[in-house]
Amino acid sequence: MDKINLCIDIGNTSTKAAVYQNGIEVEYIKPFAVSDLLRLQKEKEIEILVSKTGSNPDLELLLESSHFLSHETNLPISIDYKTPSTLGRDRIATAVGAYNLDDKVAWLVIDLGTCLTIDLVYNGAFHGGLISPGVDMRLKAMNAYTSGLPLVDYNYEIKFPGKTTEESMQVGVCQSVIHEINGYIHQMNQRFSDFKIVDCSSMKLHFDKEVKNEIFARPKLVVEGLNNIIQYNAKK
């Protein structure tokens, strides 16, 4: 029976998984369901590692005996964080994934989804970062916590100044996210002479033209990092 690594990302909005064999991705499944797990278990000898930030009760029931990533997992990087037990598992996985791309440079790991996270990885360690509301969360909050603002979709094409209330909300949210991301990139350029950016977002990011750093688009970085961790421990 063939041996595979099954890397499962239980996120806030969906569950994804990737199958790796001999270090190569052979299957990517989104959404990943109980039926997919049962099929793979029949066909393959499996090493499983799970990143859980959301909830998938039916799948989790079948994965009770599997390894779930945590700050106590044996990692190829160290965790420089005051509250490691609260650290999002996806943030750990993407930090490892970035480190595995190039362990000689500093990385800014950017993930725009339900929330925006920007994390710093250098010298073989995760050094923390930031968490702020994602685009949809910001738009929904304005609708939920006011009596007069509508619920609108995001639109990056509308520029300041917005000419309607809807446009003003879209400019306020979308452009603020752009400025937030690019602001931290410029801040890190003042700190590091050379660093790279990895974008693992589920949404398209918009970078300033002035950003000259090398940017890698890796939307599967969570599962890549999980596979890196399995491989790292297999060598022990």
Active-site residue (options: 36, 90, 111, 199): 90
d(CA 200, CA 177): 15
Tokens 């990385």 belong to: 107
Helix (H) or strand (E) holding 113: none
136 noted as active-site residue? no
β 78-79/195-199 pair status = unpaired
CA geometry: angle at 174 spanning 170 and 177, to 5°? 150
* DSSP secondary structure letters along 122-179: ETTEEEEEEEEE-HHHHHHHHHHT-SSPPP----TT--SSPSSHHHHHHIIIIIHHHH
User: Active-site positions?
Assistant: 90
